[in-house]
Structure 1
Amino acid sequence: MARVYVQRLLIALSCLLLMSSAYATLTLRITQGVDRPIPIAVTQFSQKSVIKVASMPDGMAAIIRQNLQTSGLFAVLDQGKMPSRYVNPTHVRFSAWKETGVESLLVGQVQPVAGGRYNVSFRLLSVFGQLTSQQIIGERYKNIRPGQMRMLANHISDLVYHALTGKQGVFATRIAYVQLDRQRTAYQLLVADADGYNPRSLLKQSQPIMAPTWSPDGHYLAYVSFEDKTMSIWISDLVTGKRRKVSSVDGINSAPAWSPDGGRLALALSKAGSAETNIYVINLNTGKRKQITRGYAINTSPAWAPDGKSLIFTSNRGGSPQIYQYAFSTGQISRLTYQGTYNADAKFLPNGQGIVMMHKVVENNQTRFNIAYLNLETGRFRILTHGYNDESPTVAPNGQMILYTKDRGGNTMLAEVSLDGRVHLNLPSGNGYVRAPAWGPFSS
């Protein structure tokens, strides 16, 4: 099953070859982690030297180490403390590794083959297991192209993460975001790997781009563009590069959100000259629109429940921005948030049990905006970040991390926080102004 999965993964992602050399690689930096991370060692995958390819100059093992370390759930053994930096997968001295304190050991091989390709294999071993059950997981991959090596390293990271935590990893997923070069007044819609590596430019223009959102299958992005000096909603095919306009009413066209079945978009529309906006749902096959909200309030930022039976959105109908929910079966709208005077831009967790949002905090006559989490089953409300201006939360497909933007000395940067608020990561984003991140679905 793992081989079939990675073959599909490599075929799909290798189609995205719109490389942008103008943007530096994003680098994860962990600022806080869990109290008892899982101790693991990851040895080099090549005995003689690191296999160097353009997509990962420090080798496959370095990518896996970074992925596991920056998840906040693993304590990865420093190479200087290893009994050996390379281990033959068939000859492991477990007694030496037990002394390092690690519980698991990842060993592997990268072997060059004809045509400039590679065969890759790995074994995840339990250091304290019985000799007959030492291997936890292991796989082999044949004829991997150099451009696919980083994708494969992310895939192996996901397998290790799942094997040791029981949760699906997101290292092989992608993120989208908008970057603004203020000096040139140039906007770019970028897609990058989940670790920030390999940003690719899908659209570059002098007019604003806003609110990218992924289709459930990861093949398309919907977004707002001001090209031609009008506000419209577009969909781009990430494989072919083809684009189509799906909404351009005379007024506001904003905040697209893809339905779980992939056949509809929720969006916020208004008539020209009108101050209020309302939520609509458009059928992407027929183009027909259904109006969800009515009245004179500002209703915006819709987001679908994972089961497709309801929508949440931001509205000031009660006097201040709060989160409301619309049920398709009854047409009824109910208020979800009562904490403070400002809650906006909410997103569901993949399991539907909670939402994350942008929340205003006022303390000591100072106002800041942070990312907060509301458990819909218990009603528990928790503030997860504590920056000055934390915005645009988007949830990882496994529900464990939230990606958002935060201030960085006058610019903004991408950052992550875990759902329990204990793991914080920074993703430095070059010299531009970054906004509107969107975390893509699991790759398939």
Structure 2
Amino acid sequence: MLPAFAQFRVEVSGVGLTQLPIALAPFKGEAGSPQKISAIVQADLERSGQFRGVDASGQSLDETSRPDLTLWRQRTADSLVVGSVNRLADGRFDVRFRLWDVVRGQDLGGESYTVPQADLRLAAHRIADYVYEKLTGEKGIFSTRIAYITKGGTRHTLWVADADGENAQAALASPEPIISPRWSPSGTQLAYVSFESRKPVVYVHNVASGQRRLVANFKGNNSAPAWAPDGGTLAVTLSRDGGSQIFTIPSSGGEPRRLTQSSSIDTEPTYSADGSSIYFVSDRGGAPQIYKMGANGGNPTRVTFSGTYNISPAISGDGRWLAYISRVGGGFKLHVMELATGNVQAITDTTADERPSFAPNSKLIVYATRLQGREALMTTTLDGKIKARLAGQAGDIREPDWGPFQKQ
């Protein structure tokens, strides 16, 4: 069991230009709850880069209270969340909340959830989603999930965790490497590469049942799976014809179809948000750069021109941004390109960044890096101004992938 106060480990660094000041009053009954709901909600909102917490100590309120909004205006809060947590006779918890617009004096509504103890954190993430959407007009991503890999000793583990890194569940453990986990568009399956048969093969794994199927086990290497947005197709890198080339294959398995025809290494495919094109890495120009081609192949065009070594492309769900890793002076740094203009910005000051993945609302990126000599899972805003370290399992943390919005 993780300690109940694990959620206070969120370390947010940096200051955004316009953060909305919000007060999270301690929820009534929270002291007797295994999870401090208000603290989880506040940590979620602060990690998004859009909110700044305001001191709410000394106040006892719940969702039925009519708060003294003058007091909250004096505390410089623009909005206020109040609520309660009650344990029911059957052991479940009743969680309720209300959101107030302090400036306009408006009640912005609320919701209630009846959940087992194991889902208290999920209830808190849903509250954060509600608040985020009401106050920014965009969908929140706090109840989504991330997948990542750890290596501890000779043990490799694929984890599925909440978007804050907490509540991690092991989906697969193996003495051989597991790499390249990718969420299906439905959020119900993970594709990944496993070396358990002593060579890389691609599996698709049902997260709820733990059942999996072998999708690509051809001669040579089978690697780098990427889902098409319709969920029916995977792009993969296969070396079955000699050399690493990009193929598509039905996600249920079947005969692959070759897309690239080069004598170079073509790998790390990823689909554009609308499914019309595939971005990938190729050294056809002499060093690894990112290219783009149609989803059915065709003549690729080069996308990255700054830097001599660019890998690990990720495309935002809104189609506006390309995140990737660029080698800079011997280090590896996360970069973000605005696709419409080609403008590129390095957004970290670390030098061992790897595997960026966008949140489904395109507002945050999760990536792995080294901080103070230790592996870390981080999120960052697209401008690099607000970063947060996520909770992660012990060991060498690698290759995070951010799942889609959850179906309620």
User: Structure 1: any 5+ residue segments left out of the alignment?
Assistant: 1-19
| Kept in 2: contact 1:25–1:199 (CA 8 A) | no
In structure 2, give the amino acid aligned to 1:203: L
Measure, in 2, the Cα distance between the counterparts of 1:243 and 1:330.
29
What secondary structure, in the 3-state scheme, does the structure 2 residue paired with 1:151 have? helix
Determine helix, strand or coil for the equivalent of 2:264.
coil
Tell me the CA shift for residue 78 of structure 1: 2.4
Q: Which structure 2 residues correspond to residues 132-151 of structure 1 after superposition, within 5 A?
A: 134-141=106-113, 143-151=114-122
Instruction: Find 1:92's aligned residue among 64, 67, 80.
Output: 67
Alignment-mate amino acid for residue 440 of structure 1: G
3-state SS in 2 of match to 1:123: strand
Alignment of 1:19-418 (within 5 A): 27-47=9-29, 50-53=31-34, 56=35, 59-80=36-57, 82=58, 84-87=59-62, 89-130=64-105, 134-141=106-113, 143-182=114-153, 185-271=154-240, 274=242, 276-285=243-252, 287-328=254-295, 331-362=298-329, 367-418=330-381
Cα deviations by residue, 1:296-335 (Å, 9 ceiling, x for unpaired): 1011000001111110000000111000111136722111
Q: CA deviation at 1:286?
A: 5.8
Bigger mean CA deviation after superposition, 94-103 or 324-333: 324-333
Q: Deviations over 1:382-406 (max 9, x none)?
A: 1111211111111110111111111
The answer to whether the Cα contact below 8 Å between 1:325 and 1:335 also exists between their aligned partners in 2 is yes
Q: Give the distance between the partners of 1:286 and 1:112, measured in 2 at CA.
A: 47
Q: How many Å separate the matches in 1 of 2:175 and 2:363? A: 36
2: CA distance, partners of 1:88 / 1:418: 31
Range 332-341 or range 255-264, more displaced: 332-341
AA aligned opposite 1:136: L
SS state of the match for residue 90, structure 2? Answer: helix
Alpha-carbon spacing, 1:181–1:46, altered in 2? closer, same or farther (3 Å): same
Structure 2 residue identity aligned to 1:257 = A
Aligned length: 405
Cα pair distance change 1:425/1:307, threshold 3 Å: same
Distance (Å, rounded) in 1 between the aligned partners of 2:177 and 2:6: 23
Do the aligned residues in 1 keep the contact of 2:62 with 2:84 (CA within 8 Å)?
no
In 2, are the aligned partners of 1:32 and 1:425 still within 8 Å (CA)? no
Length-normalised TM-score, structure 1: 0.87
CA distance in 2, matches of 1:429, 1:94: 38
CA distance, structure 2, for counterparts of residue 374 and residue 155 of structure 1 = 31
Deviation, 1:33, is: 2.6
Q: Check whether the contact 2:158–2:173 (CA below 8 A) recurs between aligned residues.
A: yes
Q: Deviation per CA, 1:263-292, whole angstroms, max 9, x where unpaired?
A: 0100101038x4x20000001346121101
Letter aligned with residue 52 of structure 1? S
Pairwise CA distance, 1:85: 4.1
Counterpart in 2 of 1:4?
none
Q: Deviations over 1:188-218 (max 9, x none)?
A: 0001100111111011111000000000000
**Contact kept in structure 1, 2:184 and 2:231, CA below 8 Å:** yes
> In 1, Cα distance between the equivalents of 2:366 and 2:144?
13
| Partners of 2:320 and 2:314 in 1: CA distance | 11
Letter in 2 for 1:150: R
Q: Return the letter of the residue paired with 1:393.
A: P
Equivalent pair of 2:145/2:161 in contact (CA under 8 Å): yes
SS of residue matched to 1:98: helix
Cα distance in 1, alignment partners of residues 297 and 40 from structure 2: 49
Query: Which 10-residue stretch deviates more, 331-340 or 185-194?
Result: 331-340
Deviations along 1:217-276, whole A, 9 cap, x unmatched?
00000000001212211111011110111011121111000110000100101038x4x2
Structure 2 residues not aligned, in runs of 5+: none
| Residues 343-365 of structure 1 deviation map (CA, whole Å, 9 limit, x = unaligned) | 11101111112211001213xxx
Rate the CA distance shift 1:50–1:117 in 2: closer, same or farther, 3 A. Answer: same
How far apart are the structure 1 equivalents of 2:370 and 2:115? Answer: 40
CA distance in 1, matches of 2:91, 2:386: 40
SS in 1 for 2:281: strand
Q: Which moved more, 1:211-220 or 1:325-334?
A: 325-334
Taking structure 2 as the reference length, the TM-score comes to 0.94
